[in-house]
Amino acid sequence: MSTKDAPTRAAKSLAGDPPRILVIQAPYYADVVGGMLAGARGVLEGVGASLEVVDVAGAFEMPAALRMALGAPDRWDGFLLLGCVVKGETDHYDFICASVCQGAMTVAAEYGAPLGFGLLTVASLDQAIARSRADQHNKGAEAAHAVLGQVTLARRWHFSHWARR
Binding residue ranges for 5-amino-6-(D-ribitylamino)uracil = 28, 59-61, 84-86, 117
Q: Which residue(s) pair with 79 in the sheet?
A: 22, 115
What's the number of CA atoms in the CB half-sphere (13 Å) around residue 91? 2
159 Cα distance to chain centroid: 20
CB distance 43 to 145 below 8 Å: yes
158 annotated active-site: no
> End-to-end CA distance of the chain, in Å?
39
From the list 92, 137, 158, 161, the catalytic residue is: 92
Using alpha carbons only, give the angle 58, 44, 29 rounded to the nearest 5 degrees.
25
Q: Which residue numbers belong to the known binding site for (2S)-2-hydroxy-3-oxobutyl phosphate?
A: 89-90, 131
Rounded to the nearest 5°, which phi and psi values hold at 117? Answer: -110, 110
Buried b vs exposed e over 36-66: b needs ≥16 C-beta within 10 Å? bbebbbebbeebebebeeeebeebbbbbebb
- Which segments are annotated as binding site? 28, 59-61, 84-86, 89-90, 117, 131
Active-site residues: which are they? 92
